[in-house]
Amino acid sequence: MKLAIVGATGLVGKVMLQVLSERKFPHSDLILVASEKSLGKKIIYNNKSHSVISLKSALDLAPNIALFSAGRETSLKWAPMFAEKGCTVIDNSSTWRMDPSKKLIIPEINANILASKDKIISNPNCSTIQLLITIAPLHVNYGIKRLVISTYQSITGTGVKAVRQLENELNGKKGEMAYPHPIHKNAIPHCDSFQENGYTKEEMKLVNETHKILNDYKIGITATAVRIPVIGGHSESVNITLKKNASVDEIKNVLNNSEGLVIKDSPENNSYPMPINSEGSDNVYVGRIRKDFSKPNSFNLWIVSDNLRKGAATNSIQIAEFLIEKELV
């Protein structure tokens, strides 16, 4: 089993290495790939030194699985080339998510649709993953009529450049800006670029990816995505309207028996999900579960998860584990 990580020196790539080690992912060879400026760099993985190589060199080594986390342009050009060599690419960029010929996978929800012929598999957006881990069981049991989503997203979702911007601002230094405004002591309602409809790409990802993964395009969805000066993870306030009657206790019972999800909901003890507590965990946390008294059969949820782990690295690796387990690679 030859495993390649494309984008090994980035934020997600580094977390991928950590998660691979923690989960004891089975592989005989580890191929680490990054941009030209990182070529030859040494990375220690499980007490062994690995040299970063180019995409062309990695392609020549013909890996069985390649985890891509190097951006849209890299995935657009190179993923098909790896796939043509028989490699199964699990891509963390937005490149292939809405391609009708590519599958968009959260293992706990829809891994069963994967087949050996799937050579490019898309990892959903981080915000989508934690949302659907929570609401997919409710859709199965009660049906979802409408979602109103507000996200409060970590700067790590933007990348190293954003982390440096916050660090510079904390230290009173001038430097390269990842955002058009300061992020320290601020909230920026601008995640990704704005579209003609007035929504950002990040907001439309929540709409389009939810429809595709749940295979239900009749769900009404609207979203607002906000960037906040937080490192640990993404938070989401979700208002959900169900098709069938349900009580708060019934909803909690369904969520309590759902894979990958942890209920943290004791407000009387000041216990609820927060990004500072989710950092480093592969779980999705949900709390503040309460009835919306302004609209029939509607509820409010607060959802938090580490966006670099379950929102990116861990989900990709879980897809790879499923492929190996089912002998699809």
Mean of pLDDT values over 148-171: 97
pLDDT tens digits along 272-286:
999 999 999 999 999
Beta bridge mates, 300: 239, 290
pLDDT tens digits along 156-165:
999 999 999 9
The H-assigned helical ranges of 181-269 are 201-214, 248-256
Q: Quote the CA–CA distance of 261 and 274 in Å, as a whole number.
A: 14
Q: Quote the CA–CA distance of 138 and 255 in Å, as a whole number.
A: 8
Residue identified by tokens 């990958």 is 260
Which amino acids are annotated catalytic? 126, 234
pLDDT of residue 329: 95
Which tokens is 125 given? 């957006």
pTM: 0.96
pLDDT confidence bin for 134, thresholds 50/70/90: very high
Question: What are the residue boundaries of the structural domains of the chain, listed by start?
Answer: 2-124+312-325, 127-306
Mean of pLDDT values over 210-221: 98
Mean of pLDDT values over 30-35: 96
pLDDT confidence bin for 24, thresholds 50/70/90: very high
pLDDT confidence bin for 17, thresholds 50/70/90: very high
What's the whole-number average pLDDT of the chain? 97
C-alpha radius of gyration, the chain, whole number: 20
- CB distance 67 to 3 below 8 Å: yes
Among 78, 82, 52, 50, CA closest to 65: 82
pLDDT confidence bin for 258, thresholds 50/70/90: very high
Stated length of the chain = 329
- Express as a percent the part of the chain with pLDDT over 90: 99
127-306: CATH class: alpha beta
Q: Quote the CA–CA distance of 229 and 185 in Å, as a whole number.
A: 7
pLDDT confidence bin for 232, thresholds 50/70/90: confident
pLDDT of residue 43: 96
φ, ψ at 132 (rounded to 5°) = -75, -30
Mean of pLDDT values over 247-258: 98
pLDDT of residue 262: 98
Mean of pLDDT values over 105-111: 98
pLDDT of residue 327: 97
What is the CATH superfamily name and number for domain 2-124+312-325? NAD(P)-binding Rossmann-like Domain (3.40.50.720)
- Higher-scoring residue by pLDDT: 135, 36: 135
- Express as a percent the part of the chain with pLDDT over 70: 100
